[in-house]
Amino acid sequence: LWEFPGGKLEDGETPVEALKREFQEELGLGIEPIRKLTVIRHQYTSYRVTLHCYLCCFQA
């Protein structure tokens, strides 16, 4: 199994700020979001998730 890098938004944090923070924390990578692709919402039995999907470039 695999997972998307990500997590929850912290108080006052935008999705782009969370995206950059999570990539750095989980993968040790700096990224630069290019554009938002889509938002995916999914309802599980006991919870729901919202995925904010972005096209990004890695920073050297």
DSSP 19: H
**Distance between CA atoms of residues 60 and 43, nearest Å:** 37
Half-sphere exposure of 30 (CA within 13 A, CB side): 2
The pLDDT of residue 60: 76
Q: What is the pLDDT of residues 2-36, one digit of tens each?
A: 777 778 899 999 999 999 999 999 999 999 999 99
DSSP state of 30: -
DSSP H stretches of helix in the chain: 15-27
Q: What per-residue confidence (pLDDT) applies to 1?
A: 55
Distance CA 13, CA 6 (A): 13
pLDDT at 25: 93
